[in-house]
Structure 1
Amino acid sequence: MTELGRFGVWVPHTEVTPAQAREIEELGYGALWLGASPGADLPGVAELLDATETLTVATSIVNVWATPAKQVAESFHRLESRYPGRFLLGIGAGHPEITSEYRKPYDVLVEYLDELDAAGVPRERRALAALGPRVLKLAAERTAGPLPYLVTPDHTREARPLIGPNALLAVEHKVVLDADPVRARQTARPRVEFYLDLTNYVTTLRRLGFADADLAKPGSDRLYDGLVAHGSAESVVKQLVRHIDAGADHVALQILDDDSLSTLRALAPLLREIP
């Protein structure tokens, strides 16, 4: 299985430079997750791998509706030949509100995984965005494991028994390094409120115990406190570790502060102490 370490960094794929990737590696983060649906040619990944030595670069996620599996597999093999073992292919079905030709996502994911199999992309070198029980199980059966996004540690606790002890469980969690809770929630709002219009996330959040009042835009304080680790550096780390305690192997930090590298620098010494 690709080595990720305990903590990584999630960032839109258009918003990270090779120099930033190098610093993220030097700070001790084990993986760099590229979000916002990178294209089938996986733009910029080679440059990030070139700039680093041990950092794993992963997609979170390649959208199966927009990126043909054959082309993605060709990109995977190109990267694997140059940087063996350092790239993890994360795929997912995205959102029905955004994809015009949306059909039953489970079937599409199975077909896509079949194509990756046929193209020789190893099971252990790919992962699958998953929220609900059926896709969580599919992720464990057909990939290294699931990549839950916008969830609480309660979701992690429920997911681990479903996927078994050996599957990778890599969870994204948002961070605002600010001891003022009102200001921290305001900082997080633009990057969370959007998801309250997306059925798959709202369904999962309801299953996790959030009520309609919590999910009415812009979202309740309780919702933001569950989905965004905020406070002092020590407090943020304690909140992130709840995912580890609940069964996660890896937590990908999505920093919502204006200066994300400063936040990553502040958290790194504390995170390195986590076994």
Structure 2
Amino acid sequence: MSASSTSKSEHVQRFGRYGIWGWFGRFSPEEAAQIEELGVGTIWLGGSPKHLKPIRKILEATDNITVATGIVNIWNTDPDAIAGEFHQIEQDFPGRFYLGIGAGHPEATAEYTSPFRAVGHYLDALDGKKVPPERRLLAALGPRMLRMSAERALGAHPYLTTPAHTAQAREILGEGVLLAPEHKVVLDTDPEAARAVGRPPVDQPYLHLRNYVTNLKRLGYTDADIANGGSDALIDALVAHGDAAVVRAQIDEHLTAGADHVAIQVLGSAAPVPQLAAILGRQVP
């Protein structure tokens, strides 16, 4: 089915209620096939790749599952080149790939200026190369970027957020716009052990990056919550932990708050697919 003949709601539905989020290279082709067999809607590939080639091994290993970037960084990629790669992937794997883009964070980019304006210029370039808005997603935390997500993309992919942020984001986005937050999980019923796994990847780098800290403060967290690796309350809000049922309940709070889809990031060294299966109450293929 071509992009022009597919409604925005059909694009939103294609993501399913749950996805799995991992850094580029996190999932082997075999794991990608297992994830698809679990009935998960989307595989998210995170990081800031300079090209889209790593996505192909996931698409080649699967038949129908949606694959999305979370995110391509606008500062280290050329939009014309990314658009060319998008169209080649679309030709080879029609309808399956969605391009998530974002401005990253100022600490990592010397030429970082206005992220809102820069993302707009990047989208202008994608428009010029005919990358359909309904096949694009924006990394969005604040109100202006969320509104741009509704106006110039299929929707928003917020990272490191809470269900309270999801509720606020849905109010800004309105209905019919994809809202797909990421949420980290640790399957461990010992709170201290779970926080020991969850705290480091939250603290470094995110609690030292201005855009994430600003967003957390908008949600009511204080300097004390953010200092020293994050308070227990902050870590517990950002990293669901407990048994599978407890973790699933916290993930589902995003759906109750207005998300269409939740991208689940499984933390820890254990294989992610069995843990995802446990959370979703499904059998590992």
**TM-score calculated relative to the size of structure 1:** 0.96
Corresponding residue of 1:199: 210
Looking at structure 2, the residues matched to 21 and 263 of structure 1 have their Cα atoms a distance apart, in angstroms, of 14
Looking at structure 1, the residues matched to 62 and 282 of structure 2 have their Cα atoms a distance apart, in angstroms, of 22
Deviations 1:43-98 (A, max 9, x none): 22122111111111100000000011001000100010011110000000000001
Partner letter of residue 191 of structure 2?
P
Partner letter of residue 266 of structure 1?
A
How far apart are 1:270 and its partner, in Å?
A: 6.1
Deviations 1:123-167 (A, max 9, x none): 000100000000000011000001100000000000101011011
- Structure 1 unaligned segments of length 5 or more: list them: none
The correspondence of residues 140-155 of structure 1 with structure 2, limited to 5 A, is 140-155=150-165
Corresponding residue of 1:240: 251
**Residue of structure 2 aligned with 1:111, choices 121, 124, 141:** 121
Runs of 4+ in 1 over 3 A off after TM superposition: none
Corresponding residue of 1:188: 198
Match status 1:175 vs 2:180: no
Looking at structure 1, the residues matched to 219 and 147 of structure 2 have their Cα atoms a distance apart, in angstroms, of 18
Match status 1:96 vs 2:109: no
**Residue of structure 2 aligned with 1:251, choices 257, 262, 269:** 262
Deviations 1:145-200 (A, max 9, x none): 01100000000000101011011000100000000111100001221001110000
Instruction: Quote the RMSD (CA, aligned, Å).
Output: 1.2
The correspondence of residues 40-119 of structure 1 with structure 2, limited to 5 A, is 40=51, 42-119=52-129
- Closer, same or farther: CA 165–229 of 1 in aligned 2, 3 Å: same
How far apart are 1:236 and its partner, in Å?
A: 0.3
Partner letter of residue 268 of structure 1?
L
The correspondence of residues 223-234 of structure 1 with structure 2, limited to 5 A, is 223-234=234-245
How far apart are 1:269 and its partner, in Å?
A: 2.0
Looking at structure 1, the residues matched to 54 and 280 of structure 2 have their Cα atoms a distance apart, in angstroms, of 25
- Structure 2 unaligned segments of length 5 or more: list them: 1-10
Corresponding residue of 1:36: 47
Name the SS of the counterpart of 1:66 in structure 2. coil
Looking at structure 1, the residues matched to 154 and 175 of structure 2 have their Cα atoms a distance apart, in angstroms, of 12
| 8 A Cα contact 1:29 1:268, kept in partner | no
Name the SS of the counterpart of 1:14 in structure 2. coil
| 8 A Cα contact 2:137 2:156, kept in partner | yes
Corresponding residue of 2:4: none
Looking at structure 1, the residues matched to 244 and 233 of structure 2 have their Cα atoms a distance apart, in angstroms, of 20
| 8 A Cα contact 2:200 2:229, kept in partner | no
The correspondence of residues 208-227 of structure 1 with structure 2, limited to 5 A, is 208-227=219-238
Partner letter of residue 115 of structure 2?
P
| 8 A Cα contact 1:56 1:86, kept in partner | yes
Corresponding residue of 2:15: 4
**TM-score calculated relative to the size of structure 2:** 0.93
Corresponding residue of 2:7: none
Looking at structure 2, the residues matched to 270 and 200 of structure 1 have their Cα atoms a distance apart, in angstroms, of 36
How far apart are 1:268 and its partner, in Å?
A: 2.8
Looking at structure 2, the residues matched to 19 and 163 of structure 1 have their Cα atoms a distance apart, in angstroms, of 36
Looking at structure 2, the residues matched to 97 and 38 of structure 1 have their Cα atoms a distance apart, in angstroms, of 17
Match status 1:138 vs 2:148: yes
Looking at structure 1, the residues matched to 142 and 133 of structure 2 have their Cα atoms a distance apart, in angstroms, of 20
Looking at structure 1, the residues matched to 252 and 239 of structure 2 have their Cα atoms a distance apart, in angstroms, of 13
Name the SS of the counterpart of 1:154 in structure 2. helix
| 8 A Cα contact 1:196 1:217, kept in partner | no
Corresponding residue of 1:124: 134
Name the SS of the counterpart of 2:181 in structure 1. strand
